[in-house]
Chains A and B, each alone.
Chain A
Amino acid sequence: MRRPDITPLEAGMRLGPRRRPRASIGLTPLIDVVFILLIFFMLASSFLDWRTLRLDAAAAGGGGGMEGALLVGVSSDGLRLGARPATAEEVSARVTDLLAERPALRILLRPAPGTPLQATVDALDLLGGLGAKDVALAAPGGA
């Protein structure tokens, strides 16, 4: 009579009594190696999904690239249009208007001293999101 707690698979495996010594060879070293590999890949792999932005630095003091360009200043405490402080909405409205007239508008982004890169990239995001294609960073002394 078959016992209910033995599945046919187990019963089948036990048909060959000489397989047992072979099956037990080196399972522990295998686990060791697999664990070490696992830990290596867990520590060494990175899941950050990097993207890249093109960074254009306008030639310092060249002047040629400045013709007709819109100058947007960025600092750690906000944006500037020309010389006066402006909110992101004002800059958006101005850039949208100018882009409607001239789609190839060149925008010079001039970071103030001490501006963290994140603030500059946020400004690049804002301008890029409005459809500006030609955004360059003004080099120090270039404006």
Chain B
Amino acid sequence: MRLRRARRRTGGTGDEGVLPLINVVFLLLVFFMVAGRLTSADPFDIRPTRSTLEGPAPEDEPIVQVAADGRMALDGQPMQADALVDAVAARIAEGGVPKLRIKADAGTDTLALVALLTRLRAAGAAEARLMVEPGAE
């Protein structure tokens, strides 16, 4: 008798057994929505550079991505160095902010990066900030 009642109670649609699952999934969903930051994916693999210096968090400036082998992208669009410098100059000429974020792979050749920085500076980007991840390597 007791068995039959229990089966009838959950047997209708099976919904009661799923409710705790939905609760957990909702909680996970809310957690990921609140805690995660939606970011556009990089066009190539970039290992973050680590630094122990506590700089400010990045803002929404245009981002220049540099891979370890020298490939570059502006806001996720892969392009050659010349085109990239031209694009940055054009944006700043149109009234864009003269600031850049640089996201470079930890293995990038520093001199190549400095050369790019110098060209970007000449193109009008007054301030360039390197994106790093806190913590010692």
List the interface of chain A (C-beta within 8 A of B): 3, 5, 10, 20, 23-24, 27, 30-31, 34-35, 37-38, 41-42, 44-55, 57, 59-60, 74, 111-122, 124-125, 128-129, 137-140
Q: Determine the distance from Cα of A34 to Cα of B25 in the docked complex, in whole angstroms.
A: 7
Q: Determine the distance from Cα of A118 to Cα of B127 in the docked complex, in whole angstroms.
A: 21
For chain A, what secondary structure do more than half of its interface residues adopt (helix, strand, loop), or is it mixed?
mixed
List the interface of chain B (C-beta within 8 A of A): 2, 9, 12-13, 15, 18, 21-22, 25-26, 28-29, 32-33, 35-39, 48-58, 101-102, 104-111, 113-115, 117-118, 121, 127-134, 137
Question: In this complex, what residue of A is CB-closest to B135?
Answer: A49
Q: Determine the distance from Cα of A137 to Cα of B111 in the docked complex, in whole angstroms.
A: 9
Contact residues in B for A74 (Cβ distance below 8 Å): 110
The CB with the most chain A CB atoms within 10 A, among B39, B118, B127, is that of B118
Q: Is the CB of A45 within 8 A of B36?
A: yes
Tell me the smallest distance from the CB of A103 to a CB of chain B, in Å.
18
